[in-house]
Chain A
Amino acid sequence: MTIASPPSPSPQPLRLQPTGWLRYFSFSLDHKVIGLQYIVCGFLFYFVGGALAGVIRTELATPISDFVSRDTYNQVLTLHGTVMIFLWIVPVVNGGFGNYLIPFYVGARDMAFPRLNAVAFWMIPPSGLLLISSYFIGGAAQSGWTAYPPLSLTTPAMGQILWIVSVLLLGGSSIFGGINFIATILKFRQPGLKLMMLPMYCWAMLGTSILVVLATPVLAGTLILLSLDIVAHTGFFNPAAGGNAVVYQHLFWFYSHPAVYIMVLPAFGLVSEILPVHARKPLFGYVTMVYSIMAIVILGLVVWAHHMFTSGTPPWMRLFFTIATAFIAVPTGIKFFNWIATLWQGRLALNSAMLFSCAFILQFVFGGITGVALAQVPFDVHVHDTYFVVAHFHYIVYGGTVFVIFASIYHWFPKFSGRMLNEDLGRLHLALTFIGFNLCFAPQHWLGLNGMPRRVAEYDPQFSLINQISSVGALLMAISTLPFLINVVMSLLQGPAAGPNPWRALTPEWLTSSPPPVENWIGAAPLVEEPYGYGSSEGRIDVNQARGQDLWRQQP
């Protein structure tokens, strides 16, 4: 292989952009600024979505509909789902951490298309505000985040149309992001950096972006047809006009099942970065990890109809989708076993990043087990559209992805800000979130098995006690955000300085100052061939005395 000469610093003149905190409100082209814009913006929407969840759990504290009107309740649950998925999880795990980390990991000074990157981010706040404002102008959409017709055709049109416009914009932002990540990971690597040397998060983002590019446009097309049904009174999905409501479900889930992997694969990637650093061991089974990500991508595209086992799908389809869905457990299982093998015999630092990651493993395993169960048609027929499903997917997206987002913030905050977070507050945050989350969602499995459907404002009084326990859990989750916020604000102002590499990590983002300079490295970008080379002789040198350069394996 050729020895690459270090890329020279960009000859272009400095961009006319604000510096200091103002740049976070600007059309900045710096991938690190855009990444943090995604993360902070996502957090603001997380509070909106969390408040909406609070409304739902308050309503469900009693078996009768007494807190908000029934119309409002349906608007709230629709907004909660849409905000949490499209404005919080997808943007943060993809756009947020992806933008911040991927250029470091491929040894580049920015993303492949910085301008497109900024456009993709700046599509998010307006569409989010549009979505939320629809509540105040004539009422938000009421048909759930799935927007199944004919219900979505009969509820007030204004809210539904604004919902569609907003989701289309967010989908567009997501596609632009996906194109950018694919180009950056495949084509923007520094010379000498091979695909199989990349940190696992790159692979996860490559897989995710392939899903985004293949699946999101189908949702966009579907929503265009849905809006034609609403505005122009065509009958694509309206049985009263000769249309077919099930076709919508097929098209919708063709995107929305992969959407689960769009939320979860990046989380897998982030965990794969965090665990080896804090366990001081190489990531176990790198190659099988890569293949399992790609297997999940392929299988993820052919399992959508398991959301429709009660929709009158033909028997052969149920059989095929049962087997395909259950088989996703195999590559997913490989990843979990590999993480546990990574922990085994390591030297585990019991800090917040590690503990949040371990909580993620346990909760995702739980969600995965109920997922395999739900893939079985006869099982699904009983619990479909019940609180069992609500519990299942909150274990996947909250117990899975959101826990990883927190783990990642504890892990990368020193890099973002140059200051350490407080570990005691971090562990308090973990304990409250862990207890609150499991208290909120574990009992919901029982509710679903025993007869409580989802998306209801009122329910059989025999379920009162369990629902109240669940609501208490939700309250704990809300409270758990406080130590986190205090921690972030206090640490930003007066946390101890982190230094370039507080975790003694080997991935490239740590081989520069914290926070990193505009073009990521002063001088040449390091070529990291073994991002997980812990336990080799380099790992044993006294890292506090060593400079970053000593940790890199330079090309011979």
Chain B
Amino acid sequence: MTTTTPIDTDLQQQDDHESDGHGHGEHPDLRMFGLATFLVADGMTFAGFFAAYLTYRAVNPLPPGAIYELELVLPVINTAILIASSFTFHRASKELMRGAMGACRGWLLLTAVMGLSFLGGQMVEYFELPFGLTDNLYASTFYALTGFHGLHVTLGALMILIVWFQAREPGRFTPSDHFGLAAAELYWHFVDVIWVVLFGLLYLL
């Protein structure tokens, strides 16, 4: 049984390449691959929520008085902050690749602060909204979706702060070995992309 498909060879070459590229001994470092697979799973959780939300919109008419014109100013600023924070994080890893650890830490801290200000903005919005969690189906879905996403942002901001703290130590992250930082970055971009979809569905649709 020696049939070969194109995919097969590609993967194999990648394997060989990776095992050559890294000095980890027996096997390539698969942690980023594992994290990416996990994010696919996490994305499916959101996909389930989105599907439920869209179904509700399609088949469950809201009771009178439950249609809200959402205030858009704060969410738009928040969205801008979160999207920008993806770029600042990317800048941080570029600085790392250049070997400028000081600049890298600066950009990391800025990213974390932006993440936290997003959470703050979210809190302010929660307090100003005209509806509570159990008011109606739309309200519940709104809080469930933004809340679940907010948990992700909180976790991400924590991860960034930890990475920022670890980066004090010289040699902790090097241009060739920086799994913690790379993982936090991938996760942060993921959270960002989810927010863009969520924003489009909840606020704009």
Chain A directly contacts chain B within the complex, with at least one CB pair under 8 Å: yes
Report Cα–Cα, A383/B1, bound state, in Å. Answer: 44
| A189–B15 CB distance below 8 A | yes
Residue of B nearest to A195 (CB): B8
- Known A-B contacts: A213-B44, A216-B41, A217-B41. Give 14 more (CB < 8 A): A8-B25, A183-B37, A187-B15, A189-B12, A196-B2, A217-B42, A217-B45, A218-B47, A235-B140, A236-B137, A236-B140, A241-B137, A243-B137, A247-B52
Q: B122 at the A/B interface (Cβ < 8 Å)? A: no
**Does A218 lie within 8 Å of B48, measured CB to CB?**
yes
Which residues of B lie under 8 Å from residue A112 when comparing CB positions? 27, 30, 34
A234 pairs with B55, CB closer than 8 A: no
A265 to B105, CA, bound (A): 48
Question: Which residues in B have their C-beta under 8 angstroms from that of A213?
Answer: 37, 40-41, 44
- How many chain-B residues does the 8 Å CB contact rule pick out? 50
Residue B136 interfacial (CB < 8 Å): yes
Of A221-229, A351-359, A460-468, A537-545, the segment with at least 4 beta carbons within 8 Å of chain B is A221-229
CA distance A228 to B145 in the complex (A): 12
Q: Which residue of A lies closest to B137 (CB)?
A: A242
Assess A218 versus B34: contact at CB under 8 Å? Given A196-B4, A225-B52, A286-B1: no
Contact check, B44 vs A217: say whether CB atoms are below 8 A apart. yes
Question: B1 touching A236 by the CB < 8 A rule?
Answer: no
Closest 7 A-B residue pairs measured CB to CB? A218-B48, A234-B140, A217-B45, A217-B44, A221-B48, A221-B45, A195-B8
Stretch with Cβ within 8 A of A (4 or more), from B58-66, B166-174, B197-205: B58-66
Interface residues as binary, A217-253 with B (CB distance below 8 Å gives 1, 0 otherwise): 1101110110010001111100001111001001100
The interface residues of chain B lying within 8 Å CB-to-CB of A109 are 26
B74 sits at the interface (CB 8 A): no
23 contacts between A and B (CB under 8 A): A2-B16, A178-B37, A178-B41, A179-B41, A187-B15, A187-B28, A188-B27, A188-B30, A194-B2, A194-B9, A194-B12, A196-B1, A214-B41, A218-B48, A221-B49, A224-B144, A225-B52, A234-B144, A241-B134, A243-B60, A250-B51, A529-B2, A532-B1
Is there a chain A Cβ closer than 8 Å to B165's Cβ? no
* The one of B3, B26, B37, B49 that contacts A10, using a Cβ cutoff of 8 Å: B26
Cα–Cα distance between A242 and B3 once the two chains are bound (Å): 56
| Closest Cβ neighbor of B61 among chain A residues | A242
Query: Using an 8 Å CB-CB cutoff, how does the interface string of A166-186 with B read, 1 for contact, 0 for none?
Result: 000000000100111011001
Number of interface residues of A (CB under 8 A): 58
Q: A529 contacts B1, CB within 8 Å? A: yes
Q: Which residues of chain A come closer than 8 Å to B179, judged between CB atoms?
A: none
Q: Output the residue of A175, A179, A214 with the most chain B CB within 10 A.
A: A179
Shortest Cβ distance from residue A342 to the other chain B in the assembled complex, whole angstroms: 14
Taking the closest CB of chain B, its distance from the CB of A30, in whole angstroms, is 16
Known A-B contacts A217-B42, A233-B134, A242-B60; the reply to A194 vs B8 at CB < 8 A is yes
Residue among B7, B26, B45, B60 making CB contact with A8, cutoff 8 Å: B26
B30/A195 in contact, CB under 8 A: no
